[in-house]
Copies of this chain bind each other. A is one copy, B any other.
């Protein structure tokens, strides 16, 4: 019997002490997914995770909150969410991890770790840092093995130039230039803690860290830095674009398939 009504979660049939909040660390291949958030257009990570949790809760609804609502085709190796079970699970963290992963089959979504957390702990609001990695395959030939997992750019990119220019974006700024028009954040001000650009063979990695990000911020930063890498922009132009506080002054949005949410930090770490 499935109970889809959210109020049942607060009903008197379950005393508050029976409820349990679990934090989960998740990995997924976003290729065939519509992103984190439920959509009518296809399978979302949220739907798959909540349905897996529901099966462990005897069919009851288990709502979730995530640290980062990734877009369609974005991947994650360290996404974090919390699940509010309407019942107390008589299980240890390993059993919750394995149970959820079992019910997530055959989808490429897997729970890496699970931890029982205090009801005041939030995957979203307790996060102190989000870490993203963007992978760009820089070679003439299109990706074979990495199709759907990288942004493919044929022309050679100047990695030291991109890295050097990127450093001027660190710190606290109004990032309107790199913010999606649809972004719902109240403030366009964010503090960028890291934006490292490195090359390993044909792969260029962008490692980006901040307490929080604006919608499309990482992809817009990467898409704009790519203009520096191919020589169309210099570091001065990048700085001018930031100061314009206008999305029209920025470069294009890099494709979603190169983006990975690699980690979310908490203090203390619920999984530690």
Contact = CB atoms under 8 A, between A and B. Distances in A.
Interface of A: 26-29, 75, 77, 94, 97-98, 101, 108-112, 139-145, 147, 149
At the interface, is chain A mostly helix, strand, loop or mixed? Answer: mixed
Contacts of A110: 141-144
Q: Which 8 A-B pairs have the closest CB atoms?
A: A27-B144, A110-B144, A29-B145, A110-B141, A108-B144, A112-B141, A28-B144, A108-B147
B27 A145 contact: yes
28 contacts: A26-B144, A27-B141, A27-B144, A27-B145, A28-B144, A28-B145, A29-B144, A29-B145, A29-B147, A75-B145, A77-B145, A94-B140, A97-B140, A97-B141, A98-B140, A101-B141, A101-B142, A108-B145, A108-B147, A109-B144, A110-B141, A110-B142, A110-B143, A110-B144, A111-B141, A112-B139, A112-B141, A145-B149
A30 to B, nearest CB: 9
